[in-house]
Structure 1
Amino acid sequence: MAKTALIVGAGSGLSASIARLLAKEGYQIALAARRIEKLTQLSSEIAAVSFAADASKPEEVNQLFIDVENKLNTPTVVVYNPSFRVRGPLIDLDPGEVAKTLEVTAYGGFLVAQAATKRMLQQGGGAIFFTGASASIKGYPQSAPFAMGKFALRGFAQSIARELAPKNIHVAHFVIDGAIRSAERLDPVDNPDSTLDPDAIAQTYLNILNQPRSAWTWEVELRPWVERF
């Protein structure tokens, strides 16, 4: 079976680290985002193919999988990374923005997983990974919509992990409990390793992907050594 990874919600952060690592492991890489112009450098670097798609739109998700199959192969690994958030006091939240948060963060995960599962059942297996956050397990003040979306995504992942594991589809949810390091968010000089290194997170995704199926993990929490539980 050809090794093809589809990363939905690709960008320059965690998803880029996952893409680079899987490319080194011999995977063909498909990158999906609403705006693919931001993926030009990464696509060139790792010989990936970029696809424009809004993961919260059923017709665009269906077309995405068709396009990936036509240009590469049926994905054996799918990573769902998109999220959207709106902050503010409960009484001030815009209902439309709240709905968008749920559509991107949770409903899109359902659409992508459903499309992936239909194909993985036919090919005899695969892996579907979801990126969570601190909000997956902790609802913070003035962040209700994000907590709603991430709690929903976690519950969905747990449900389908139990449904699909006996069918040789490994579903896993990753709770990223802390800030991810980036060019815009560097560690303070006096507090090294106080943010999560995206390359280190990606290594955990690969470790879970390579687990023997007699001992699969459905969820893992990752946090810097200084982060409170």
Structure 2
Amino acid sequence: MNRTSKKVAVIAGVGEGLGQAIARRFAPDYHVVMFARDLEKLQGYAAQLREAGGEATGMKVDLRVEREIVEALATIEQEIGPIEVAVYNAGAQHRKPLLEISGDAFEKVWRLGAFGAFVFGREAVRHMEPRGKGTILFTGATSSLRGGANFGAFAAAKFATRAVIQSIAREFGPKGIHAATVIIDGAVNMPAIHRLFPDLAKSMPPDGMLSTDEVAETYYQIHRQHRSAWTLEADLRPYSEKF
């Protein structure tokens, strides 16, 4: 890895949907480092960003493992550059009746959605605090605000990540670190939803699903906010979404 002259934006949990869109939005101005378990896909995403004129690196990181997160962020600071933006976009969208959720499944959902976010946020703060600046953003969901039938495990994880970011904001906001949650309420227009729920996708009105690029723009603009008017929580949904 080559050290960059740019600041660094780390996106944890990058796939073909929102994670990739966030990386794409930050790439013109930052060296983007993407975390996921599939290194081959990450290398492909990084190549696309470089072809478009940006700087990008893919790193294989299991976000359920504390040591891997700690070591990855430390490596970035030492070998690539100072982390200015840290986005945690990982989370298992788990949906199952309560009586069918095993303890093991609950823990796995929690470990990726909540534990990983906590470690990622803690380590981002560790590197940002001495510089007195930085932005930490967590991706939230409807389940960050209320539990629903069949979402016992997922809601528990999303409630937890919201609590973590609020705690970071209150403790480290006065020290220059902007921490916020972006709550996404609605279907996100990405390839997976068309594969898994084709009838739902076809039933939507024009712009009835959240555009990944437009959501990514919100992340970017939150990062750019002046400290006199910081967002703690943004709540995004399509115009047609019922809530």
TM-score calculated relative to the size of structure 1? 0.95
Q: 1:152 to 1:224 in 2, by over 3 A?
A: same
User: How many angstroms apart in 1 are the aligned matches of 2:9 and 2:167?
Assistant: 23
2:197 match: none
Residue 190 of structure 1: how far off its partner (Å): 6.4
Q: Is the 8 A contact 1:61 1:112 kept in 2?
A: yes
User: How many angstroms apart in 2 are the aligned matches of 1:176 and 1:85?
Assistant: 13
1:171 match: 179
Question: Any stretches of 5+ residues in structure 2 without a counterpart?
Answer: 51-55, 195-200
User: How many angstroms apart in 2 are the aligned matches of 1:190 and 1:134?
Assistant: 19
Q: Name whichever of 118-127 and 218-227 sits farther off.
A: 118-127
- Correspondence for 1:125 among 120, 129, 133: 133
Q: Is the 8 A contact 1:165 1:171 kept in 2?
A: yes
2:122 match: 114
Mapping for residues 22-41 of structure 1, pairs under 5 Å: 22-24=26-28, 26-41=29-44
Identity of aligned residues (%): 37
Mapping for residues 1-229 of structure 1, pairs under 5 Å: 2-24=6-28, 26-47=29-50, 48-185=56-193, 187-188=201-202, 191-229=205-243
Residue 63 of structure 1: how far off its partner (Å): 1.0
2:198 match: none
Secondary structure at 1:188 match in 2:
helix
User: How many angstroms apart in 2 are the aligned matches of 1:116 and 1:151?
Assistant: 20
Q: Name whichever of 190-199 and 170-179 sits farther off.
A: 190-199
Residue 159 of structure 1: how far off its partner (Å): 1.5
User: How many angstroms apart in 2 are the aligned matches of 1:2 and 1:40?
Assistant: 20
Q: Is the 8 A contact 2:43 2:57 kept in 1?
A: no
Q: 1:92 to 1:183 in 2, by over 3 A?
A: closer
Residue 164 of structure 1: how far off its partner (Å): 1.0
Aligned-pair Cα RMSD in Å: 1.5
Q: 1:128 to 1:215 in 2, by over 3 A?
A: same
Question: Match of 2:49, as an amino acid?
Answer: I
Question: Any stretches of 5+ residues in structure 1 without a counterpart?
Answer: none
Question: Match of 1:64, as an amino acid?
Answer: A
User: What is the aligned residue count?
Assistant: 228
Q: 1:69 to 1:13 in 2, by over 3 A?
A: same
TM-score calculated relative to the size of structure 2? 0.89
User: How many angstroms apart in 1 are the aligned matches of 2:17 and 2:187?
Assistant: 11
Q: 1:189 to 1:89 in 2, by over 3 A?
A: closer
Residue 184 of structure 1: how far off its partner (Å): 4.2
Question: Match of 2:119, as an amino acid?
Answer: L
User: How many angstroms apart in 2 are the aligned matches of 1:88 and 1:215?
Assistant: 39
Q: 1:190 to 1:138 in 2, by over 3 A?
A: closer
User: How many angstroms apart in 1 are the aligned matches of 2:69 and 2:203?
Assistant: 43
User: How many angstroms apart in 2 are the aligned matches of 1:54 and 1:23?
Assistant: 23
User: How many angstroms apart in 1 are the aligned matches of 2:204 and 2:140?
Assistant: 28
Residue 66 of structure 1: how far off its partner (Å): 2.1
Secondary structure at 2:189 match in 1:
coil
Q: 1:141 to 1:53 in 2, by over 3 A?
A: same
User: How many angstroms apart in 2 are the aligned matches of 1:9 and 1:184?
Assistant: 15
Secondary structure at 2:9 match in 1:
strand
